[in-house]
Structures are given as C-alpha cells and as structure tokens.
Amino acid sequence: GPGSLALLGPAPGAPSCPHGPALLFVKTSQGKEEGRRFYACSACRDRKDCNFFQWADEKMSETRLAAREEYNRNHQPPFTHRQNVDRYKNFVLLPLSKRRFCQECQQLLLPAEWEKHSDHQFLCGITTAQLKSPSQLLYPLENKKTNAQYLFADRSCQFLLNLLIDLGFRRVLSVGTPRLHEMIQSRVSQEEEFSVRSLLLDIDFRYSQFYTEDEFCHYNMFNHHFFGGEAARETCRKFLYEEDGERVIMVTDPPFGGLVEALASSFKKLMAMWKETEKEGHDNKEMPMFWIFPYFFESRILDFFPSFSMMDYQVDYDNHALYKHGKTGRRQSPVRIFTNLTPSMIVLPEEEGYRFCTLCQRYVSSGNQHCEICNSCTSKDGRRWKHCVLCKKCVKPSWFHCNNCSCCTLQKHSCEKADVGCFVCGKAGHKRSACPSLS
C-alpha cells in the first residue's frame, strides 16, 4: 500500500544539520506495524533547501561524521551575533553617504568591505528609520515550509500591539514575529513612557545585524534549538521571569507549511521554561499565548492545546497575495488567533464589523451568525454557515448533504468514498496522532 510518514519528535543524541538537531520520523507501509526510522532536517521539509537525511540504525564512519561537521561549520553565518552587534555600532557612526547595504548578501557593509562587494547590487544612504525597520530592508524569505516570512500588515500588527497593551502585558516573547518586535522596539526608542519590551526568537540570523543579544535570539521553533547555546537560552529564561508583576505573553506566527506536532512540542517547552522561572502562582497555569495560524488547523492545535480557542479576527499580511483584509467570500484571509486567554477578553474592532455575541461570550465577525441548534457561532471562514440536520452540525454555505457519502460536501464531488484508515498502520477508528503503534 502507499507509504506514509509520522513524526516521532526530537530524540536525545540526534545528529545535527546546519539548522540544529534533526527530528526523528518513521516511514511505514500500509498494513505494516512498524516502519524504518530516519532523521531529517527539522526546519526544511523540502530536500532542495536542506538535504540532510540519515537512517536511525545507520552506522556512520568517522570520515563521514567529520565531513558532516565541516559542512555544518561552513553553512553557518559569516559573523557571530557579537560581531554583528559591534559592526552595527560602527555602521551607525558612519555619515549617511557611507552607509551601504548589500542586497545580494543581505548585509550591512562597512567601507573596508565595499571592494569585496563591488559587483553586487547595494542600497546607499541607509537611514536610522530603515535600520529600525529591518523587516522592510531585508528580502522576505518566502519558502512557505521553512521561513515563510509573510509579514504582518500594519493594520494587524497595530491591532495586536494595542490588544496586548490593553490586556496588561508588558513583555512579549515574539517567536517568528519580526514585524511586531520591531514595532515594539520602535515605540520604545520614540516614547519614554512606553513600557512594553520584546524578545525576538527567529531562525533568520540576518536580524542579528540589527538587534543586541538581549533583543534577539537565533532560534529554530521546530526543534526548540537555541543556536547561541546556553547563553541564549538563559537570555530567554531571564526575559520570561515576571519581575515587578510585568506579565509575559508569547506571540507566534509559524510557517503555515510547518509540522504542527513539532511546533506544539517546542511551544510546550517554552511554556515549561516560563513555569520554571517562578514556582508560586504558575502551578496550574499556562503561559498566555497567541498562536497565529490558518483556521483549518483548529482541530490539530486543539489536540495539543485543549485550553485554546480560536478568535474570529482575520490576520492579514503585506507580502501575501491572498491573505489580505477586506476581501469577501472565500477570498478572505484564513489566518486567525488561537489563544488560551478567556475569549471575552479579546475585544475585536467594531469598526471592522466585529460584534460581541452575548451567548458565546466572545467577539465574532459580522457574517458569523449564532446557531440555536449548535448553541454557538459556528462560522470559521467569515461567511454565514448553515445547519445540516443530518450531519448535526453547521457546514459551509457551498456544501450540500450527499446521501451516498452520508455527509455534507461540495456539490461537484466524487462519491467513490475510499475507506481511509490511519496513515501509519492503515487501520480504521483512529488518527495518525493517536496510533497505538507510535507508542
């Protein structure tokens, strides 16, 4: 039968690629109980981006191990974070006419390096405002499975920051949200009374050119790997310590093509780090969190975080052709906020059509009508959904009940319903994540 993959997670002593420790997977054939295990890159699901692969039972020779270490060393950034901080200090002392940024190398250039980059395209006269907005200076890395730097539009970024301030949070752990981080940093530099602080954790090392070690940690959210080692981990731990009652929240915007299981594992480790910082008061609590992700991942996220709920707010992006605010019907952005905060606390802007449902005790979009049978505002995509008596739930307006399939689906569909079981063992009655053979 067809083969399938399952993530077994981070494993002690796992081999490393340039993106940190690899993740352990199992490859199975349908009907077989156990497949062969292998390690693959945690961050890149496309072999063209990182071709790391090793069977778990494979014996590696000393020569191959040495070659791998050499390869990993050669694929590290040209400067350390400390060197980049020193370079930035020298760069800002230069007159505007001597401030250059190499667009091909994505690097701030000091005058002594101009010759080396003479045949490259570069920007001249880099202003302080540009240095304070690196996400607009750097090319977005738009591989949707690895970096997926679809950057928050100003509307969404401003809404998030205002919401965090209104909720009383004074520290924001920004995991893969560079634009929110830079908006906070910009406000800090401009307004003396602005008291919110942010720490950016991101796999894009280019940001180390613009932020100190207390403002940025090079981090892989798929394997919870701090590239800066224990020093960077300690920076994160210190940031999470709630001093003087300054409440902390984690805001994360992962690549939508990433593995939810791997992300959830890392986020739980960050939550555990927060819990360890102060024993009193944290015992029965989770670190407050906003996980920004498409609505069709709701069931997967709730599998790992049952306390979470999905808000109706549509998050939009500057550099994504589809995820834009103001579009209607199926063209609306599918990206939502998942949170463990009480839904009634999340106030959505009424001027954008959001309203408070007194029965659900949360803000919903204008098209999301309360269903008296489900006793809930059931729409996920912003359109008004309809209740199907036979399915005993609300469904999308474009769906119709098919008696052959015994469920609601699109009108034009194939009724040849395959008896699909678990992707790991092929048996019916459970999903891959609950497969007994994985235990």
Q: What is the pLDDT of residue 427?
A: 62
Q: Would you state the structure tokens that stand for residue 137, as one six-digit string?
A: 């200076």
Mean pLDDT across the chain: 87
C-alpha–C-alpha distance, residues 262 and 7, integer Å = 8
In this model, does residue 431 exceed pLDDT 70?
no
Question: With contact defined as beta carbons under 8 Å apart, do 357 and 378 qualify?
Answer: no
pLDDT-based confidence at 38, cuts 50/70/90? very high
Among 268-282, 354-368, 399-413, 417-431, the least confident range: 417-431
Q: Which residue has the higher pLDDT, 159 or 244?
A: 159
Residue 146 C-alpha from the chain's centroid: 10
Three-state SS at 414: coil
Does 439 fall in a domain? no
* pLDDT-based confidence at residue 226 (cuts at 50, 70, 90): very high
Boundary (domain end) residue, out of 348, 366, 384: 366
Do residue 186 and residue 286 come from a single domain?
A: yes
How many whole angstroms separate alpha carbon 427 and alpha carbon 190? 60
In this structure, is residue 426 part of a structural domain?
no
Residue 316, domain member (yes or no): yes
Q: Of 59, 75, 91, at which residue does a domain stop?
A: 75
Question: Is residue 64 located within the same domain as residue 93?
Answer: no
Q: Which contiguous run of DSSP H or E holds residue 243?
A: none
Cα–Cα distances (Å) from 335 to 37, 176, 310, 378, 396, in that order, read: 34, 15, 10, 16, 17
Residue 97 and residue 64 share a domain: no
Range of the domain at 273: 154-366
Are 190 and 282 contained in the same domain? yes
The answer to whether residues 214 and 359 belong to one domain is yes
Same domain, 203 and 339: yes
Q: What is the mean pLDDT of residues 97-102?
A: 95
pLDDT of residue 422: 63
Q: What is the mean pLDDT of residues 342-359?
A: 93
One domain, residues 70 and 85: no
Whether residue 194 is found in the same domain as residue 292: yes
Residue 383 placed within a domain: no
Lowest mean pLDDT among 27-41, 178-192, 228-242, 423-437: 423-437
Domain boundary among 339, 366, 393: 366
pLDDT tens for residues 293-332? 999 999 999 999 999 999 999 998 886 555 555 555 556 7
pLDDT score of 146: 47
Q: Does one domain contain both 259 and 221? A: yes
Poorest-confidence range of 65-69, 167-171, 189-193, 357-361?
189-193
Closest among 309, 304, 300 to 339, alpha carbons compared: 309
Same domain? 56 vs 101: no
Q: Which residue has the higher pLDDT, 397 or 415?
A: 397
Long-range contact set of residues 232-236: C-beta below 8 Å, sequence gap at least 24? 235/199, 236/173, 236/199, 236/201, 236/270, 236/273
Residue 327 identity: K
Q: Is residue 196 part of a domain?
A: yes
Is 143 contained in some domain? no
What is the number of structural domains in the chain? Answer: 3
- Domain containing residue 251: CATH number: 3.40.50
- DSSP H or E stretch at residue 68: helix 62-74
* pLDDT above 90 coverage of the chain, percent: 63
- Angle of CA points 260, 323, 203, to nearest 5°: 45
99 falls within a domain: yes
- Indicate whether 98 and 224 sit together in one domain: no
Does residue 412 carry a pLDDT above 90?
A: no
Stated pTM of the model? 0.87
**108 shares a domain with 14:** no
Is the pLDDT confidence value at 10 over 90?
Answer: no
CA distance 388 to 38: 44
pLDDT at site 319: 62
263 lies in some domain: yes
pLDDT at res. 1:
43
Using the predicted structure, report yes or no on whether residue 214 has a pLDDT greater than 70: yes
Supply the pLDDT for residue 278.
Answer: 67
Q: How far apart are CA 115 and CA 101, in angstroms?
A: 13
